[in-house]
Amino acid sequence: MACTGGPLSAVDADLLIVPWFKDEAASALPALDAATGGELGRALASKEFQAKPYELFLAAITDTSWRARRIAVIGGGVGERGSDLVRRLATAAGLAAGQRHVPRAAFIVRGQGDAADLAQAVAEGLTLAEFYGGGYKTDDPPPAAPPAWTVVVLDAVDGAMAAAVGAVARGRILGECSNLAREMANEPGNTLTPREFAKRATALASDAGVAVEILDETQIEKLGMGLLLGVARGSAEPPRLMVFRYDPPGAPPTPVLGLVGKGITFDTGGISIKPADKMEQMKDDMSGGAAVACAMRAMALLKAPMRVIGVVPATENMPGGKAIRPGDVLTSASGKTVEVINTDAEGRLILADGLWYARQLGATHLVDVATLTGAVVVALGKITSGIFGAPNAWVERVRHVADRAGDRVWPLPLFDEYKDQIKSDIADLMNTGGRAAGAITAAMFLKEFVGDVPWVHLDIAGTAWADEAKPYLPKGPSGVAVRTLAALAFERFDDKG
């Protein structure tokens, strides 16, 4: 992915894609209008093109001194014109250019804010458009190669141009790592078993210089992870615990960011079995784990300055003859005992052992990511992930980073009173807290395993998979949280957050 400056007439591509905001007249880019022989201005005046969100208008370039032959303006609508919108415009434009088999396309960076930030978002968005999820089709031809992209930064003085070039390279990496996570989430349960998940995650992380260790069932048992082992009991496939270590030379001993991702490669619900309708969707129940693995790769490729540990407990949740039953009591690696009320609340079980282990390995700040509850989808829908945790400074830090990375998050509370809902008569905790505040009681459960370490929990059950296509996000896995987790390794934080 290239990055160049103007003028537009010199940009060497088949198609120039230009974001266009609602109230803009053709005079906003007079040279562009002139190059189309006034066609852009006419379309704006006649309202043929109204710059509605993601609306496209194509026109030929009649000025033969220009190197490009056509332009496509893409509507940005009214409202904020920051990197969030620009990233989405780039994805929508990338999808459109790909469908039209454009060999070489250029995207003109326009919007409000720092030019490098916008250029990075454009590179991310264009790269996200390259994801293809139909790999098992044998009757459709595979998609043509995506366009070769040039990101164009107009009016950049020298320093700003160098910054934009670096930003495009970073955005490309972040987009590619998001797509790797999407590929894994898209993979069915029969191909992406816990062992295969561990193998692929090892390959993509170690290739970038991340140290990876895969613990098998015997080693997991030695660590005393009764919750992870309990969930794995119902499956013929053995569990795995992935441990990633990114230790850049010269990094200070602390902070150590600890990332923990839910890696359920298929969630049937176990003995508390799920209804058949939509159960196939539960192949993506390892999206949090994939986000952790792919974020580790991204931060190593981007040379983040901080030490990071990633922990991904991986298992199926199956109702085999050896499966745990409702009412069973399991002992966690931390020593706390759990009465399993519902075997479908398995994510919090494996995460509890994972969070404990990340602390053992020296994490000073924790973030876990999980497709944890249907309840968060009821609360926040398919647009926004739930964010929970303590202390507030750490939650706000992660929230801010997520906002900038383009992952929508919104906070839900963890008042002490919610803990009453997960008190057991027989053990320290129950693994479910009833229908009320289901996303919160799941987070309250995790909170019991983080000790005093600053901790954030992201519930991505609604955001990991798009059920309906949007102009900027096709149906399928979204790659949520990869960019947020990677960006966290570039923050400066202290004990409080």
Question: Could you list the residues that contact Mn ion (CB under 5 A)?
Answer: 267, 344, 346
Catalytic residue among 67, 70, 245, 274: 274
Pick the binder of ligand BES from 75, 288, 347, 406 (CB under 6 A).
347
Q: How far is the C-alpha of 48 from the C-alpha of 59, rounded, in Å?
A: 12
Q: Is 290 in the site for ligand BES (CB under 6 A)?
A: no
Q: Min. distance of Cβ 21 from ligand BES in angstroms?
A: 36
Pick the binder of ligand BES from 150, 332, 334, 432 (CB under 6 A).
432
Q: Min. distance of Cβ 492 from ligand BES in angstroms?
A: 34
Instruction: Note if 348 is an active site residue.
Output: yes
Q: Which residues pair with 337 in a beta bridge?
A: 331
Pick the binder of ligand BES from 4, 179, 373, 463 (CB under 6 A).
373
Residue closer to ligand BES, measured from CB, 143 or 434: 434
Q: Min. distance of Cβ 341 from ligand BES in angstroms?
A: 8
Q: Min. distance of Cβ 446 from ligand BES in angstroms?
A: 13
Residue closer to Mn ion, measured from CB, 76 or 263: 263
In the list Zn ion, Mn ion, ligand BES, none, the entry touching 206 (Cβ below 5 to 8 angstroms by class) is none
CB-CB neighbours of 424 under 10 Å: 15
Residue closer to ligand BES, measured from CB, 186 or 371: 371
Residue closer to Zn ion, measured from CB, 124 or 344: 344
Are 458 and 370 contacting, i.e. CB atoms less than 8 angstroms apart? yes
**Cα–Cα distance list, 249 to 121, 174, 246, 300, 322 (Å):** 28, 22, 10, 11, 46
Residue closer to ligand BES, measured from CB, 145 or 378: 378
Name the residue whose CB lies closest to ligand BES: 374
Q: Which residues contact 301 (CB under 8 A, 6 or more apart)?
A: 173, 177, 208
Residue closer to ligand BES, measured from CB, 68 or 372: 372
Contact positions vs Zn ion (CB under 5 A): 264, 267, 285, 347
Q: Is 371 in the site for ligand BES (CB under 6 A)?
A: yes
DSSP class of residue 111 equals S
DSSP class of residue 149 equals E
Q: Which residues pair with 386 in a beta bridge?
A: 410, 459
DSSP 4-32: EE--GGG--SSEEEEEE-TT--GGGSHHH
Are 354 and 260 contacting, i.e. CB atoms less than 8 angstroms apart? yes
Instruction: Note if 274 is an active site residue.
Output: yes
Q: How far is the C-alpha of 309 from the C-alpha of 322, rounded, in Å?
A: 32
Q: Min. distance of Cβ 282 from ligand BES in angstroms?
A: 6
Residue closer to Mn ion, measured from CB, 187 or 344: 344
- Helix (H) / strand (E) element for 105: namely strand 104-108
Pick the binder of ligand BES from 39, 344, 368, 448 (CB under 6 A).
344
Pick the binder of ligand BES from 130, 187, 267, 448 (CB under 6 A).
267
Please tell me the count of residues contacting ligand BES according to CB under 6 A. Answer: 16
Q: Is 339 in the site for ligand BES (CB under 6 A)?
A: no
Looking at this protein, which amino acid is placed at residue 199? K
DSSP 191-210: TS-HHHHHHHHHHHHHTTT-
| DSSP-H helix ranges across 341-385 | 347-360, 374-380
Q: Which residues contact 153 (CB under 8 A, 6 or more apart)?
A: 3, 4, 5, 6, 109, 115, 119, 160, 161, 164
Q: What is the largest CA-CA distance in the chain?
A: 81
Q: Min. distance of Cβ 375 from Zn ion in angstroms?
A: 12
Q: Where on the chain is the footprint of ligand BES (CB under 6 A)? A: 267, 285, 342, 344-347, 371-375, 377, 432, 438, 461
Which residues are tagged catalytic?
Answer: 274, 348
